[in-house]
Structure 1
Amino acid sequence: MTTRPDPHGQTGTEPGGTPPPATPDDDAEGLAGHDLVDWDLAAAAASRLVPPGPRAGRAEIEQLVAELRSAGARAVEPVATTARLRTPPGTPPALVVDRPGWIAANAASMGAMLAPVLDEVVSRKRVADRARARTRGKELAEVGPTAQRIGSAVTGTEVAGMLSWISTKVLGQYDLAPQGTPRLMFVAPNILAAERELDVDAGDFRLWVAMHEETHRVQFTAVPWLREHLIEQARSVGARMMPEPDQLAQRLGEIVSQVPGVLRGDTDITQVLASPEQRKRLAEVTAVMSLLEGHADVVMDEVGPSVIPTVATIRSRFTERRKGAGGVDKLLRRLLGMEAKMRQYHDGAVFVRAVTDQVGVDGFNALWTSPQTLPRPTEIAEPHTWVARVHG
């Protein structure tokens, strides 16, 4: 029997809404940006492609689901005490999902996150195409509905491959859900696979994972402005990273020429996709992501052996696991920008520990005051400069 986290077939996933429906203007003028990807097709195809996970009997599955739900609840107080931040009452409990459940939630969230970005790109292209058509004395020829459907289906299939692969790696996630209600999720088959691979105490490992993800939840719920700020920043960077229509061929050539460097690990995919001006904005978002990931890593380690007796063993083996991906796995990580995410854990954790050593937890928590007190890109690598700027 293969792993299906909820033995009754209820993953509890609430992916929320879908990208905005087409408006009359969309129908009149052709393809809308949010229609460029068939997200429903992507979710369905990815769910068919992904393996279900490690084999387990019904009793083991039921125990896994129950313990993950319990770990989510048990993580709340230690994280609040350690981080000195508290999740507000009434926050929805964690969901335990299988891989298709994670895929469904993330396809919906990605669609909602990217919809305004893609709408802007298509709008810019349409304006440029109209201008060219006017200079040539011709009417603008819109893409027909059949071609639109084929294009969005092809793109959806490509996204499905990415979602399928990532869904086998993620242990847990705080889904920002731009389209609906944010939720904390644990991906049960991946947690089961990881604890078996690492040969660690299952109960301790499940609680350790819950600590990391609960820290992300408390970051976004105890700091009310943070979720919307990060969504807006990510959308802004995404829109600016899209080349102007008349620059598309040139940018594609530049990107293709640099792919070998990405595969060798000489550069990062996000640096390849961005222009020098865009990299500055991207660095700002990366600094925040480094902070969030590093803070979660520090908190889940700081709770200590009184809560998780084997925390040192888990951390040691998990760190080695992050380094030990095989050849194909490393290539995919580089192409999807996940190598950069691995660096975020390290860089952010160094920043958090350095700042806390200088000004304590309460002094560190001053960074949650406003977007202006978040660390700047250069400050992640030089924590003392953040302390000097914020604390004087």
Structure 2
Amino acid sequence: MSVPFGFGMPGGGDDDPGKNLGPDNPFAALFSGDPNALGAMFTQLGQMLSYSGGPVNWDLAKDVARKTVAAAGGDRSMGAGERAEVDEAIRLAELWLDPLTVMPAGANASLAWSRAEWIENTLSVWKQLVEPVAARVVEAMGGALPGQLPEEMREAAAPLMGMMKQMGGAMFGAQVGQALGSLAGEVFGATDIGLPLGPPARATLVPANVAAFGQGLGVPADQVRLFLALREAAHQRLFAHVPWLRAHVLDAVESYARGISVQMDKLEEIVSGLDPTNPEAIGQAFHEGMFTPENTPAQRAALARLETILALIEGWVDKVAGAAAAEHLAAAPQLREAVRRRRATGGPAEQTFGTLIGLELRPRRFREAAELWQRLTEARGVDGRDALWAHPDLLPTADDLDHPAAFVEAAQISGGSDLDISSLLDGSLGEAPPEQPPPGSTEGDGNSEK
């Protein structure tokens, strides 16, 4: 009878049981004769199986993310010169944005992060976003194991099922860590993927990635930095002065993630062929994807809500930051189009994350949203445009993105005279709750930050 789950002795034959193990395989230590390598292997295995903090081994995820950054070209702490450049860019960006929006500066400090610092400082938000899907996977792994065993062995395999859940947390943690490490090599700051990942009121840039983005554009480095600082500062204004927005966005992501279902046939394929001597195959199975959105009215509504709010945020930022850049930066049109293309297509790390948890991080319709904000500016002015952020019920819907002229005409007729823009800025409207979930939705309160 074959040994289930590939837990037999690794190797390529009786004469040389370890000949097929590469030097990077952790189980190669069994045959290396190196006591230090053997000790490290058992330490790593013990850490994986001793974790009991939830469906994702976040200690492992953070470690893998940092190692992914190091393997991709290294990382370094920010020097005083780079911090001064970021501080100056954010200061100028705030001055340039002031005439173009009624929302005042949203950040009271500027930060220059290394890639590793980006990982450390955004991890708490990623936990919020990833764990709903991870919990489904880890629980499903524990349930998939009994189906792979003969009836008479299932009761005796109970301890093994517990171990499988721990291994599931470790496997998911490793894959999340790899995706975060890759993403850390691409992001410009704390908000440029449309989610408020960093601490509130802290405008942040990642200088190494800003410099990498500018390579090949033929644009002076200071203009690239200023353009991206404008976008970061605009995001910060929006999240700081629209009191309901942060919770609304994170809740929309969580609602969609909770509706992702696990492809059990794919999961059973992974479990039945699980071989601890071949972590590359495990990673490939995850990257091939085993998640599908549930085709239900509630899930379709959650997706529409998520795509629309991300598009509206990105469209507003594109409009406001683009207008500020056009007045001060000669390369503004080139930089604006480069960022638009990047947001439309997504980078490799965004694609990796989409495959891993079934969630694309980029807005599909931000060009339509940017056009709508432009029309609203022309029809109602800056005050009337920004007043729409006073409450989620006032914002354009997905249908409005399809028919922008009708929405602008209706908004122009209403004139916004019943809205006091000062109430948006001082928060006297209160923190409006996120949209109520559609009937039949499983949406809960979540753990959204305010």
State yes or no: 1:241 paired with 2:257: no
What is residue 105 of structure 1 aligned with on the other side?
121
Of 189, 212, 217, the residue aligned with 1:193 is 212
- Read off the aligned partner of 1:221 and give its amino acid letter: A
Of 199, 216, 223, the residue aligned with 1:204 is 223
Which runs of 5 or more structure 2 residues have no equivalent in the other structure? 1-50, 144-153, 270-288, 415-450
Of 295, 316, 334, the residue aligned with 1:275 is 295
- Read off the aligned partner of 1:285 and give its amino acid letter: L
Q: 1:344 to 1:94 in 2, by over 3 A?
A: farther
The alignment's TM-score, normalised by the length of structure 2, stands at: 0.61
Q: 1:151 to 1:329 in 2, by over 3 A?
A: closer
- Read off the aligned partner of 2:222 and give its amino acid letter: G
User: Do the aligned residues in 2 keep the contact of 1:39 with 1:108 (CA within 8 Å)?
Assistant: no
What is residue 163 of structure 1 aligned with on the other side?
180
- Read off the aligned partner of 2:183 and give its amino acid letter: I
Q: 1:297 to 1:73 in 2, by over 3 A?
A: same
State yes or no: 1:223 paired with 2:239: no
State yes or no: 1:358 paired with 2:376: no
Q: CA RMSD in A?
A: 4.3
Deviations 1:342-375 (A, max 9, x none): 6443232122112222322222223211111122
State yes or no: 1:75 paired with 2:93: yes
- CA deviation after TM superposition for structure 1 residue 95, in Å: 1.7
User: Do the aligned residues in 1 keep the contact of 2:350 with 2:361 (CA within 8 Å)?
Assistant: no
Q: 1:330 to 1:121 in 2, by over 3 A?
A: closer
Taking the TM superposition and a 5 Å limit, the aligned residue runs for 1:58-73 are 62-73=80-91
What is residue 47 of structure 1 aligned with on the other side?
66
Which runs of 5 or more structure 1 residues have no equivalent in the other structure? 1-30, 128-137, 254-268
- Read off the aligned partner of 1:370 and give its amino acid letter: H
Of 287, 305, 309, the residue aligned with 1:284 is 305
Q: 1:76 to 1:52 in 2, by over 3 A?
A: farther
Of 190, 203, 209, the residue aligned with 1:173 is 190
- CA deviation after TM superposition for structure 1 residue 158, in Å: 0.8
The alignment's TM-score, normalised by the length of structure 1, stands at: 0.69
What is residue 370 of structure 2 aligned with on the other side?
349
In the alignment, the residues of structure 2 paired with residue 42 and residue 184 of structure 1 have an alpha-carbon distance, to the nearest angstrom, of: 25
What is residue 262 of structure 1 aligned with on the other side?
none
User: Do the aligned residues in 2 keep the contact of 1:87 with 1:217 (CA within 8 Å)?
Assistant: yes
Q: 1:182 to 1:152 in 2, by over 3 A?
A: farther
Bigger share in helix: 1
Q: 1:312 to 1:335 in 2, by over 3 A?
A: same
What is residue 258 of structure 1 aligned with on the other side?
none
Secondary structure of the residue aligned to 2:204 is strand
Secondary structure of the residue aligned to 1:35 is coil
In the alignment, the residues of structure 2 paired with residue 124 and residue 150 of structure 1 have an alpha-carbon distance, to the nearest angstrom, of: 12
Of 360, 367, 374, the residue aligned with 2:395 is 374
- Read off the aligned partner of 1:380 and give its amino acid letter: L
Q: 1:306 to 1:181 in 2, by over 3 A?
A: closer
- CA deviation after TM superposition for structure 1 residue 317, in Å: 4.9
Deviations 1:81-124 (A, max 9, x none): 21221135xx4412211111212223321113444676699899
- CA deviation after TM superposition for structure 1 residue 205, in Å: 1.4
- CA deviation after TM superposition for structure 1 residue 64, in Å: 3.2
Q: 1:183 to 1:147 in 2, by over 3 A?
A: farther
203-212 vs 102-111, which deviates more?
102-111
Deviations 1:306-330 (A, max 9, x none): 432332343345556668999x789
Larger Rg: 2
Secondary structure of the residue aligned to 1:75 is helix
Residues matched between the structures, number: 330
User: Do the aligned residues in 2 keep the contact of 1:118 with 1:239 (CA within 8 Å)?
Assistant: no
Of 101, 104, 112, the residue aligned with 1:96 is 112
Taking the TM superposition and a 5 Å limit, the aligned residue runs for 1:300-319 are 300-319=321-340
